[in-house]
Structure 1
Amino acid sequence: MTKYCFSKLLSFTILLSCLLLSATAEANTVTAVRIWPADIYTRITIEAEKPILYKMTTLKDPERVVVDVEDIDLNAVIKALSDKVSESDPYISKIRVANFKPKVVRLVVDLKAEAKPAIFTLTPAGDYKHRLVLDIYPTKDPLMAMLDERDNPLQAADVATNNKAAQVVTLPQSTDVPTVTVDNNTVAVVKVDEGAKAVNTTATTTTGNVVDSTPQTSSVSPQNDTVKDNLENKPSTKGLRQITIAIDPGHGGEDPGAIGATGSREKEITLLIAKKLKAKIDEEPGMRALLTRDGDYFIPLHMRVLKARKLQADLFISIHADAFTNPAARGSSVFALSEKGATSASARYLAKKENESDLIGGVSLNVKDPLLARTLLDLSQTATINDSLKLGKAVLGNIGEINKLHKHHVEQAGFAVLKSPDIPSILVETAFISNPDEERRLNDSAYQDKLVLSILTGIKKYFSTNPALAKTKIALD
């Protein structure tokens, strides 16, 4: 009997050991990888079944970022990351994926120029599992560069002249001259095997290795061409300063927004409408528009606010397409910020859902932005909110002429994207994308044009009784 019990105990112990070893040996599984390239930054996302352990290092000469993903298998999904790099990506030239050691997969991200990486993990949100996010930012924010050019035209002209002087000139091998003139500037020539080239040297800086880096708060901005268009002076009505309107297409990139009955994605609808609204505003004398995003990439909610403030916008209009569990829900709505709570349960629900965009789109909860804290703690927003309500009423009245209104008054709630203390801001829910009929209309170009004209008419009506005041330069540093 004792021998039998001992045998059973031994068998149980062996079985338990095997189970424990099997559980220990089971590595994390990558289920999806994505790359979102844009001029403002490029995002790499790795999605897995379990929390992702990682270590990041930055290397120089050449510029690259090395990420070791621990306790993970080198499966076909993560291998495919290399194939997702676009030739037009402004920051990444290629990605190499291989086993560094057992259960450790190494990603080597070769960069086209010096950049600022930010890495962080996200817990499951929306339809996503655990994610590791690597953002590659430029060392110089394109938006700030354009603002510097606008504010310091003489300095910008000097830079342009120096850039011309530094261009490379190739000469025949038989040429034997110490200098060459380019656009009235003399530059040195150095002989090389294939001929002679004009050479301009610049100093480089070297940064140390970064391990387990937390994300750096970086101001994201529109693509360079868009920023240039926004900052160029265009003919305006004599005696009136130019009015600037920030248009914010909701969602983007990792955050698709609401999904329609036939698969339409809110992020795509809002971008189409926002671009059309920008074009119409730019046609108006004395008015110009800028987009918080002009492509399919994600921007945190607070950065949309800060971008509008940096460009000293007179108005901020966020474009969305609502969704509800009941497909019969329909109608357009306009919302403004509330300091005292939502004006209805539906407004509270919508604000909560829209504010979750940061979790779905991918913002580390560890990021602390002192400027944002000061902005949101500014309790002198009463006048701005009153102006937002006036703007919202003007826009809502005109939208009501082309579509049924969900509510016949401007509602209020704590939308994070509307929390600018000095810019009248509204959120326009153009229609319910979850309603099949309204989803069809939102995808119709003719209806989009009518919608855009109704919003523009509301904007002009607002300014007819609330003229834009002179803007003082905002200190954001």
Structure 2
Amino acid sequence: MRNQPTISYIFIFICMLLASMQSFAQNAIESVRVWPSPESTRIVFDMSDKPDYSYFVLKNPLRLVIDLENTKQQKDFPSVPDEHRVVNKVRHSKPKNSNSARIVVELSRSATPKIFALAPTGPYKNRLVVDLYGKQMSVYDDTKTATPRKTLAQDRDIVIAIDAGHGGEDPGSIGPSGTYEKLVTIQIAKRLARLVDSQPGMSAKLIRTGDYYLKLNTRTARARERKADFFVSIHADAFTSPQPRGASVWVLSLRRANSEIGKWLEDKEKHSQLLGGAADLIKDTANEKYLAKALLDMSMEHSMKTGFQVAEEVVKELKKVAKMHKSRPQAANFGVLKSPDIPSILVETGFISNPQEEKLLMSPHYQERLARAIFSSIKGYYEKNPPDNSLFARMQSNKPVTHKVKSGESLSVLASRYGITVSELKKANNLKNNTLFIGQVLTIPKA
């Protein structure tokens, strides 16, 4: 019995030792990834366990300091490439205690930090994400890729905003052989942009120009700031089994459209963004909200109608290139399709989870065919429905009108229909008599 206290002391000592070992630097930074973008930088710390963190900002010079509790000190960090416009360097510093790690991010200019932890998902473990948004910088401060829009009132370009889905920390879906959706979408988007830029009267704006992450709101805001006439988002589908395959085209659902109109009505600053000069006319009136809603309804109706018409054309063209998963445009609640003022579609180019389609989607030849199908659809729509003051509109007005003669039609009938005289019609087509043939193509002169 006299040995019992000794045994108790040993047991307590062992428990304390185990507790101290558990509390000592149980977490670790396994890797660090740095993602550049035109207006921000994202730094991702891959952790062995859920991070316990705090942070503060220092001035002169500008630094973001992050403290990680119960974490081994990291000595080596990756260098920061020159294209980063917010971050100069990531380094370690003396920790506040022996059981923690301190990281210092040296900033090139004033930035707003947003720091959050992410739970394990897909190929990733626990992560600490640091987003640094540079202040007083346009989301379009990217002179290497921005295509200048014509400033003349007449003959302006039709601007097509092209959004490559996912990017950076968000790889999107992952194929059986490890292909990331974000890589497929940026390659197809760049091919589509080259086709658009090569067409007189059209210009492309790539929403994402590199491998970095953008929020959904940022994507639509970029398109709006660029005064885009149309928005197309490129994606690759996926499923839990490898069998499904085929492309599909999506438009905004009516339910999401009504929800977005309500949000815009509650945010008066957005009235001016969307309604332009009309916002000043309805401002400070008793009926402002009702007038704004009427204008928003009309704008959304036009956008949805245009988006659906283009989507139908894209489906027709894609059928010539790819197997279709859906034979008609589908309506969905996608966040990137929510702009009331910009007609939008989302193109699922195929199932990256299908081994055969994954291989196709990585093929440059197949990517080019997909891009050409989307391009010809958008171009064809705007050739038939050119925006006012665009080069397409002037080209259409100068293009001669033709008519294919049908059974029962005569020169007098056609002259009356088009508001011209019979002699003008005969002169424009070098006709010696009044005889017409079914299937004959006539040039119709301007009235």
Q: TM-score range by the shorter chain?
A: 0.7 to 0.9
Residue 398 of structure 1 contacts residue 458 of structure 1 at CA under 8 Å; is this kept in 2? Answer: yes
Gaps of at least 5 residues in structure 2 are 258-265, 275-291, 391-447
Q: 2:172 aligns with which of 254, 257, 261?
A: 257
Q: Is the 8 A contact 2:312 2:328 kept in 1?
A: yes
Distance 1:305 1:105 in 2: 38
What corresponds to 1:462 in structure 2?
381
Once the two structures are TM-superposed, the CA of residue 443 in structure 1 deviates from its matched residue by: 1.7
In 1, Cα distance between the equivalents of 2:158 and 2:384? Answer: 15
Q: Are the counterparts in 2 of residues 27 and 103 from structure 1 also a CA contact under 8 Å?
A: no
CA distances 1:110-138 after superposition (whole Å, capped 9, x unpaired): 23x32313131123153333322223333
CA distance in 1, matches of 2:384, 2:83: 46
- Residue 30 of structure 2 aligns with an amino acid whose one-letter code is T
Map 1:23-102 → 2, pairs under 5 A:
23-74=22-73, 78-81=74-77, 83-101=78-96, 102=98
Give the drift of 1:425. 0.7
The structure with the larger Rg is 2
TM-score by length of 2: 0.72
User: Following the alignment from structure 2 to structure 1, what is the Cα–Cα distance between the partners of residues 311 and 339?
Assistant: 15
User: 2:127 corresponds to which residue?
Assistant: 131
1:115 pairs with 2:30: no
Conserved 8 A contact 2:242-2:353: yes
Contact between 2:163 and 2:232, CA under 8 Å: does it hold in 1?
Answer: yes
Cα 1:256/1:301, change in 2 over 3 Å: same
Q: TM-score, normalised by structure 1?
A: 0.68
- The AA in structure 1 aligned to 2:87 is I
| 1:245-295, Cα deviation, whole Å (9 max, x unpaired) | 100001110011112222221111111111111111011121111011110
- The question of 1:106 aligning with 2:111 is answered no
Q: CA deviation at 1:65?
A: 2.6
Alpha-carbon contact 2:45-2:127 (below 8 Å) kept? yes
For the residue of structure 1 that corresponds to 2:61, the secondary structure is coil
Partner of 1:452: 371
Secondary structure of the equivalent of 1:100? coil
SS for the counterpart of 2:331 is strand
- Relative to structure 1, is the Cα distance of residues 340 and 110 closer, same or farther in structure 2, using a 3 angstrom cutoff? closer
Secondary structure class of the residue paired with 1:22: helix
CA distance in 2, matches of 1:389, 1:319: 16
What is the 5 A alignment of 1:74-473? 74=73, 78-81=74-77, 83-101=78-96, 102-111=98-107, 113-127=108-122, 128-141=124-137, 144=138, 220-221=139-140, 223-227=142-146, 230-233=147-150, 240-340=155-255, 380=297, 381-468=300-387
Contact 2:30 2:48 in 1 (8 A): yes
Provide the alpha-carbon RMSD of the alignment.
3.1
1:450 deviation in Å? 1.4
Matches of 2:64 and 2:28 in 1, distance apart? 22
Give the whole-Å Cα distance in 2 for the aligned partners of 1:38 and 1:382. 34
Aligned to 1:19: 18
Residues 115, 136 of structure 1: 8 Å contact kept:
no
CA distance in 2 between partners of 1:371 and 1:58 (Å): 33
Amino acid across the alignment from 2:231? F
> For 1:134, what is the secondary structure of its paired residue?
strand
Secondary structure of 1:72's aligned partner: coil
Could you tell me which amino acid in structure 2 is paired with residue 48 of structure 1? M
The 1:47/1:11 distance shift into structure 2, 3 A limit, reads: same
- CA–CA distance in structure 1, aligned partners of residues 169 and 60 of structure 2: 32
Question: Could you tell me which amino acid in structure 1 is paired with residue 371 of structure 2?
Answer: V
DSSP 3-state at the match of 1:56: strand
* Cα shift at 1:68: 2.5
Matches of 1:27 and 1:442 in 2, distance apart? 42
Query: Does the 8 A contact of 2:208 with 2:214 survive in 1?
Result: yes
Please identify, of 440-449 and 3-12, the stretch whose mean Cα deviation from structure 2 is larger: 3-12
CA distance in 2, matches of 1:392, 1:89: 37
CA distance in 2, matches of 1:7, 1:470: 94
Query: Structure 1: which amino acid aligns with 2:84?
Result: D
Q: How many residue pairs were aligned?
A: 358
Cα pair distance change 1:8/1:58, threshold 3 Å: closer
SS at match of 1:19: helix
Q: Which amino acid aligns with 1:252?
A: G
Deviation of the 1:16 alpha carbon: 3.3
Whole-angstrom CA distance in 1 between matches of 2:336 and 2:184 = 18
The residue identity in structure 2 corresponding to 1:140 is Q
For structure 1, the 5+ residue unaligned runs are 145-219, 343-368, 472-477
Matches of 1:301 and 1:57 in 2, distance apart?
28
Q: Summarize the Cα distance change of 1:87–1:460 in structure 2 as closer, same or farther, 3 Å threshold.
A: closer
Q: CA deviation at 1:53?
A: 3.0
Q: Which amino acid aligns with 1:107?
A: I
SS of equivalent to 2:145: helix
Shift of 1:337: 1.1
